[in-house]
A and B are shown apart, each in its own frame.
Chain A
Amino acid sequence: MSVELIWALITGAALFGVGIYGALSQTNLVMIMMGVELILAGALINLVAFWRYLHPDVAAGQMFVLIVMTVMALEMAVGFGVAIARFRSRGSVEMEEAAELKE
């Protein structure tokens, strides 16, 4: 057991929990995306911690982190695209008002 690994994992867990809270509780699309960013940040720190303390000789671990960073950027780009389209047609990006998308 290593203190460093555990602390890093607990940080990841805390960021994940905060992100889940944010993604579920916010009513605004952009704020929800912030929650998702935090969830992914929690995943990132776990990946780096696993790479460092379990398999430091495998470069694929670092590559995985790069891919997750890419996903974060993609999520933002597509999310903002949707936000712009929504704002143009309805004048707001509030989730409570988007119930008609369910139907």
Chain B
Amino acid sequence: MITAQAIFIGFFGVAAVWFGIVVFRTFSMVRSAIALLFSQTALGAMFLTMQAEFLGVLQIMMMATEMSIMAFFMVMFMMDPGGMGKMEMTHQKHFSMIAGVVAFVGAVAIAVFIDWGPIANTVADSAEQTKALGLELLGRSMLIFETAAVTILTAMIAAIAVAIKPIPREEAKDKA
């Protein structure tokens, strides 16, 4: 049976995949980053359709900033960020295509042929969901959540340590 929910999921799913393909088909790097953003936003809309309101809104919010920063780095590092020279930037295209298709077919086969068991039709309303998520995060799964926080801190320090401009030894001695 096709419900309104299924139609919306299909629509946003097609949008997400379409924008995902556009990422690798356009020559303009900024367009490519923005296409990825809209792919992720369509995904956030899918979450909203699946009544995961908090996650959907969070996805939509986080990705806007993340992908804008990605666009900025593209412009910094690319020789042709505007895509006006139509530079070729791929290698092993044939192999990658096959790998992508195999991965897709395999995942679809698993999705279609496995018996997923009983399907839940109702879900708690979003206020209760948010509350339950909060209790989960600061209760039973607190350790995991804290691990994520510590990982973020480590990644921040690591990223800055890698990216910072190294000071030559003599200069460092002078400063000290």
Contact = CB atoms under 8 A, between A and B. Distances in A.
Whether chain A touches chain B in the assembled complex (some CB pair under 8 Å)? yes
Interface of A: 1-22, 24-31, 33-35, 37-38, 41-42, 44-45, 48-49, 51-57, 59-60, 62-63, 65-67, 69-70, 72-74, 76-78, 80-85, 87-88, 92-93, 95-96
B167 interface: no
A7 B123 contact: no
Interface of B: 1-3, 5-6, 9-10, 13-14, 16-17, 20-21, 23-24, 29, 32-33, 36, 39-40, 43, 46-47, 50-52, 54-55, 58-59, 62, 66, 69-70, 73-74, 76-79, 89-93, 95-97, 99-101, 103-104, 107-108, 111-112, 116-117, 119-120, 122-124, 129, 132-133, 135-137, 140-141, 144-145, 148, 151-152, 155-156, 158-163, 165
A80 B73 contact: yes
A53 to B, nearest CB: 5
Contact of B116 (A5, A26, A76, A80): A5
A20 B102 CA distance: 10
A24 B104 contact: no
B77 A93 contact: yes
A13 B108 contact: yes
Contacts of A13: 103-104, 107-108, 111
